[in-house]
Amino acid sequence: MPVVGICSGKGGVGKTTVSANLSAMLTYFGSVVVVDGDIALPNLHALFGFEPSITLLDVLTGNANVKDAIYRIKVGESSLDIVPSSQTSSDIKNLDSFVEVLNELGKVYDFVIVDVAAGLSKYAIVPMMGCEKIYIVLNPEETSIMDAQRVKKVVDSINADFEGVIINRYRGERWAVAMAEKRVGSVAGIIRDSKAIRKGWEKGYVVTAVKPEAKVSEEFYTLARRVAGENVHPRPYGKLRYILRL
């Protein structure tokens, strides 16, 4: 089943937040595993509130099997599997094995979500090459859109389908939606700026797993439907509606 990469042009746009919350919502549509592909700055496990003993790094260095690096958490009446990573200061010589790991997981799960490292280093490009579909996360800022353009050029050069951009921390900036569509590509999802998301980071939980009734969870559910293959399209709303729906 599809291996889906969640990418960004730079760090700090909320890519990991999107990866985690999207993965939790996708459990309504099938079996899901989310992989922390950010070996340089891994933090997916922190958002889910646990400290792993075996990680993706152990798998890539040949010290563990991928099955040993899978952790399961409860999401409503379903479950979500996580392959966390851990930081290393040394160069990983067998980084190409990342693609093999993704292929192996793709044979088992309905959805494999990869939280790809930000930017365009080899730690981002190699995992991207193992993905069949790619989404680019950006913020409603011109510089963030420009960064996304650079990532889109790389996506176009590899064997992956660009599925659209995900505008995160949206506060009604319709101009940013129009600019992103013109410069990067179609908008696959719009996720509001949310206090609930920030609180989740502080407390170590994923909002869509704990508070599915939240407005931001509704937007992640719409995105999950899109990723699952449904023909849904996000509708950009203005600042007044954003304020009224906080």
Maximum alpha-carbon separation in the chain:
53
Element (H, E) at 219: helix 215-227
Q: What is the DSSP letter of 91?
A: -
Q: Which CATH number fits domain 3-244: 3.30.465.10, 3.40.50.300, 3.40.50.11540, 1.10.3720.10?
A: 3.40.50.300
Predicted pLDDT of residue 244: 64
Q: What distance in Å separates the CA atoms of residue 153 and residue 184, rounded to the nearest whole number?
A: 9
Q: What distance in Å separates the CA atoms of residue 5 and residue 10, rounded to the nearest whole number?
A: 15
Q: What distance in Å separates the CA atoms of residue 90 and residue 58, rounded to the nearest whole number?
A: 13
Answer yes or no: is pLDDT of 128 > 80.
yes
Q: What would the pLDDT profile of 54-112 be if each residue is shown by its tens digit?
A: 999 999 989 999 999 999 999 888 999 999 998 765 566 677 899 999 999 999 999 99
Q: Give the helix ranges, DSSP H, for 4-54.
A: 15-26, 44-47
Q: What would the pLDDT profile of 105-116 be if each residue is shown by its tens digit?
A: 999 999 999 999
**pTM of the predicted model, to two decimals?**
0.94
